C-alpha cells in the first residue's frame, strides 16, 4: 500500500483526466526538464525559514533541513539553507539561491483581526518589488497556502478567489514554474472538510485559468491527487511503520504543548523521537515530516514543465 502522500500528491495539475490533459499541456509527449537556480518560498509556516519570531515552526535543533522550501530546493540541487526576506532585505533579489518571504501564520489576504503576520498578498508585493520580472528558465516559486485560512475560519470561496488573484499577479510578472502545496490537516472534522473543499475549489479555478491565453503551458502544478480527501486526514492511518517512514503514531505530536502551533525545541537527550513523528504540533510538521512532504512535492514536478 502506498502512503497517503504518495497516493494523493501525484503529479497532477488538477483532479480530472480532462483537466490533466489540458492544463498540463495537452497530450503532448514533449517534456522539458526544469532545473531552477533560484527557489522562492511564499506562504505560511511550512516555508518560514526565519521571517517570524520562533521560526522555523517545527522541531528546532535537529541539525537537519527543517522547512518544505529548503528541502524542495535541496532535491533540485539549489541549496539547503534558505535566506529569510523581510522588508527591504534586498533591493534586487540575487539571481541564485533559496529565498523565503513566507511568514508563520500568514493568511492569503491580510486580516489584522485574525493575525498580524504578513499575508501572502503582502509577500507578493515585496517579491515583485525585489524581482520585477521572473526568469522562466531559472525561478521556481513554491507556495504553501490555505492551512491557516482554514484554521482561522476564512470563507473558502473568498480565500481561493483571493489566491487566484495573487497567482495571476505572479504569472503576469513572468513566473512560469509555480508549485503549490494545498492545506493539510492532521485530524478529521470541520478543518479536514474545509481543507478538502479548498483543494477542490482551487483545482477547478486553476483549470478555468490555465485553459485560456495567456496562461496556457502548465505554469502551475497543484500537488493534489484523484482523492484529495486522503490529504486532509492523516489519522486515516494510525502508523506509517509499514512504509518505513514514521514509526510513531501520527496522532501523537512531538511538542509538549501542541496547541501553541509554533513548534518547539528538541528535547534534551532526544536523538531519535523527533525523526519518527510526523507532526510537531497540531498543525506544523517535524523536520522529517516537512522533508517527506517536500519529496512528494518534488516528485509532483516529474511530469515536467512544458
Contacts of 205 (CB under 8 A, 6+ apart): 160, 161, 164
Percent of the chain with pLDDT over 90: 45
Residue 158 Rama label (left phi>0; alpha psi -120 to 50; beta): alpha
Tens of pLDDT, residues 190-242: 787 888 889 889 989 998 998 888 888 889 998 864 444 444 444 443 444 44
C-alpha to C-alpha distance for 28 and 241, rounded to whole angstroms: 39
CATH number corresponding to 4-235+289-303: 3.40.50.1110
**Which residue would you say has higher pLDDT here, 236 or 187?**
187
**pLDDT in the model for residue 249:** 64
C-alpha to C-alpha distance for 211 and 35, rounded to whole angstroms: 25
**pLDDT in the model for residue 85:** 93
Query: Look-up: residue for cell 497516493?
Result: 7
Q: Mean pLDDT, to the nearest integer, of 166-195? A: 86
How many Cβ atoms sit within 10 Å of the Cβ of residue 215? 19
**pLDDT in the model for residue 22:** 30
109 has pLDDT over 90: yes
The three grid cell numbers given for residue 138, joined into one nine-digit string: 531559472
The three grid cell numbers given for residue 298, joined into one nine-digit string: 518534488
pTM of the model: 0.85
Nearest Cα to Cα of residue 284 among 58, 106, 62, 93? 58
**Range 8-40 burial, b when 16+ CB lie within 10 A, else e:** bbbbbbbbeeebbebbbbeeeeeeeebebbbbb
Question: Measured between alpha carbons, how far apart are the two ends of the chain, in Å?
Answer: 31
C-alpha to C-alpha distance for 159 and 180, rounded to whole angstroms: 15
Tens of pLDDT, residues 35-74: 899 999 999 999 999 998 889 999 999 999 999 999 999 9
Query: Look-up: residue for cell 501525484?
Result: 10
User: Do 298 and 75 contact (CB within 8 A), yes or no?
Assistant: yes
The three grid cell numbers given for residue 273, joined into one nine-digit string: 523521537
Amino acid at each position: 500500500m502506498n502512503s497517503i502522500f504518495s497516493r494523493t500528491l501525484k503529479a497532477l495539475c488538477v483532479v480530472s483526466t480532462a483537466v490533466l490533459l489540458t492544463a498540463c499541456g495537452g497530450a503532448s509527449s514533449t517534456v522539458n526538464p526544469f532545473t531552477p537556480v533560484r527557489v522562492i518560498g511564499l506562504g505560511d509556516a511550512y516555508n518560514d525559514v526565519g521571517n517570524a519570531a520562533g521560526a522555523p515552526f517545527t522541531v528546532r535543533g535537529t541539525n537537519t533541513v527543517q522547512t518544505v522550501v529548503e528541502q524542495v530546493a535541496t532535491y533540485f540541487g539549489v541549496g539547503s539553507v534558505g535566506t529569510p526576506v523581510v522588508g527591504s532585505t534586498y533591493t534586487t533579489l540575487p539571481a541564485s539561491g533559496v529565498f523565503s518571504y513566507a511568514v508563520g501564520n500568514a493568511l492569503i489576504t491580510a486580516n489584522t483581526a485574525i493575525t498580524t503576520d504578513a499575508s501572502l498578498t503582502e509577500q507578493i508585493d515585496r517579491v515583485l518589488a525585489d524581482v520585477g520580472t521572473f526568469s522562466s528558465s531559472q525561478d521556481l516559486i513554491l507556495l504553501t497556502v490555505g492551512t491557516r485560512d482554514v484554521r482561522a475560519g476564512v470563507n473558502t470561496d473568498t480565500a481561493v478567489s483571493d489566491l487566484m488573484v495573487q497567482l495571476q499577479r505572479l504569472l503576469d510578472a513572468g513566473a512560469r514554474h509555480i508549485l503549490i502545496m494545498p492545506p493539510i490537516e492532521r485530524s478529521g472534522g470541520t478543518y479536514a472538510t474545509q481543507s478538502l473543499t479548498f483543494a477542490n475549489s482551487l483545482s477547478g479555478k486553476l483549470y478555468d485559468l490555465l485553459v485560456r491565453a495567456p496562461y496556457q503551458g502548465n505554469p502551475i502544478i497543484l500537488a493534489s491527487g484523484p482523492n484529495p480527501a486522503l490529504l486532509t486526514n492523516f489519522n486515516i492511518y494510525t502508523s506509517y511503520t509499514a512504509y518505513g517512514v514514521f514509526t510513531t503514531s501520527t496522532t501523537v505530536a512531538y511538542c509538549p504543548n501542541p496547541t501553541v502551533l509554533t513548534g518547539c525545541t528538541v528535547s534534551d537527550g532526544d536523538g531519535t523521537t523527533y525523526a519518527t513523528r510526523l507532526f510537531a504540533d497540531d498543525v506544523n510538521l517535524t523536520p522529517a515530516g516537512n522533508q517527506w512532504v517536500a519529496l512528494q512535492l518534488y516528485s509532483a514536478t516529474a511530469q515536467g514543465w512544458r
